[in-house]
């Protein structure tokens, strides 16, 4: 990962002539050796579109926690390449409802790097969900999703309304066999549950 200092201040007079900045959305990035919480400028209608159109992404006000020793650091900015990202938990809007096609959710399990992700892939009725996953763009969204992985203090589990999985880094995908892959109406934890609290550092946080 590449670390940067905050950009220089913008001249106030020039700023008044420019378009307003894009909104910032909170995301959680799952990399090979760390989890990164931060805010991402939403320059597309959805985070899914943003991650599929770009190759590098800058997070601001980021908190990075290593998965091997739980070392934590606060960063003003951090740039992460898409090929380093195994999964992303997002809270962005789902886009224009008038542009959606009719789909049906199919529960699947995905293993990507050290992470086990379960959730619903949305496919056109009558199509194979596994083949549909393989034909998608790089970052594939799963809804009503769960991500699990091992950390120094034990097994971690977090739920999110949407988790994007990097198709190119996925080792396997299969129909779900676990009982915790369920429709959102029977998972009350999904409503208003953030992810950052699950990784609140217990020791050794320093600010960069």
CATH of the domain at 146: 2.30.30.100
How much is the pLDDT for 101?
A: 67
Mode of pairing for the β-strands spanning 72-81 and 205-207: parallel
Bridge partners of 65, per DSSP, are 35, 72
Q: Based on the domain organization, do 13 and 48 belong to the same domain?
A: yes
Give tens-digit pLDDT for 103-138.
889 999 999 999 999 999 999 888 888 888 989 999
Q: Is residue 78 part of a domain?
A: yes
Q: Based on the domain organization, do 123 and 75 belong to the same domain?
A: no
Q: Based on the domain organization, do 86 and 107 belong to the same domain?
A: no
Q: Based on the domain organization, do 69 and 125 belong to the same domain?
A: no
How much is the pLDDT for 194?
A: 34
182 burial (CB, 10 Å; 0-12 / 13-18 / 19+) is: middle
> What is the Cα–Cα distance from 192 to 160, expressed in whole angstroms?
9
> How many CB atoms neighbour CB 166 within 10 A?
22
Q: Based on the domain organization, do 81 and 113 belong to the same domain?
A: no
* Residue in the structure block whose two tokens are 């990507």: 112
Q: Is residue 56 part of a domain?
A: yes
Q: Based on the domain organization, do 174 and 107 belong to the same domain?
A: yes
179 burial (CB, 10 Å; 0-12 / 13-18 / 19+) is: exposed
Q: Based on the domain organization, do 32 and 105 belong to the same domain?
A: no
Q: Is residue 12 part of a domain?
A: yes
Q: Is residue 42 part of a domain?
A: yes
- Give the predicted TM-score (pTM) of the model: 0.75
Q: Based on the domain organization, do 127 and 164 belong to the same domain?
A: yes
Q: Based on the domain organization, do 22 and 56 belong to the same domain?
A: yes
Q: What is the CA radius of gyration of the chain?
A: 18
Most confident residue range from 68-72, 118-122, 125-129, 180-184: 118-122
Q: Based on the domain organization, do 10 and 79 belong to the same domain?
A: yes
**What value, to the nearest 5°, has the Cα angle with vertex 122 and ends 120 and 128?**
100
Q: Based on the domain organization, do 61 and 113 belong to the same domain?
A: no
**Range of 37's domain?**
2-92
Number of domains forming the structure of the chain:
2
For CA atoms 167, 173, 176, 180, give the dihedral sign.
negative
Q: Is residue 201 part of a domain?
A: no
Overall average pLDDT of the 75-89 stretch: 96
Q: Is residue 122 part of a domain?
A: yes
Q: Based on the domain organization, do 104 and 88 belong to the same domain?
A: no
């Amino acid at each position: 990962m590449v670390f940067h200092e905050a950009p220089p201040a913008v001249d106030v007079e020039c700023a008044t002539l420019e378009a307003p900045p894009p909104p910032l959305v909170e995301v959680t990035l799952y990399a090979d050796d760390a989890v990164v919480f931060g805010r991402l400028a939403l320059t597309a209608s959805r985070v899914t579109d943003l991650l599929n159109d770009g190759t590098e992404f800058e997070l601001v006000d980021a908190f990075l926690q290593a998965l091997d020793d739980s070392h934590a650091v606060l960063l003003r900015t951090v740039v992460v390449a898409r090929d380093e990202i195994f999964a992303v938990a997002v809270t962005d809007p789902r886009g224009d409802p008038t542009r959606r096609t009719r789909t049906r959710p199919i529960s699947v399990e995905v293993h990507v790097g050290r992470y086990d992700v379960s959730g619903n892939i949305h496919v056109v009725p009558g199509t194979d969900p596994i083949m549909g996953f393989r034909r998608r763009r790089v970052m594939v969204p799963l809804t009503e999703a769960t991500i699990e992985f091992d950390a120094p203090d034990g097994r971690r589990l977090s739920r999110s309304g949407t988790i994007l999985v990097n198709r190119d880094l996925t080792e396997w995908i299969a129909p779900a066999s676990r009982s915790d892959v369920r429709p959102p109406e029977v998972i009350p934890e999904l409503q208003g549950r953030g992810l950052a609290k699950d990784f609140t550092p217990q020791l050794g946080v320093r600010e960069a």
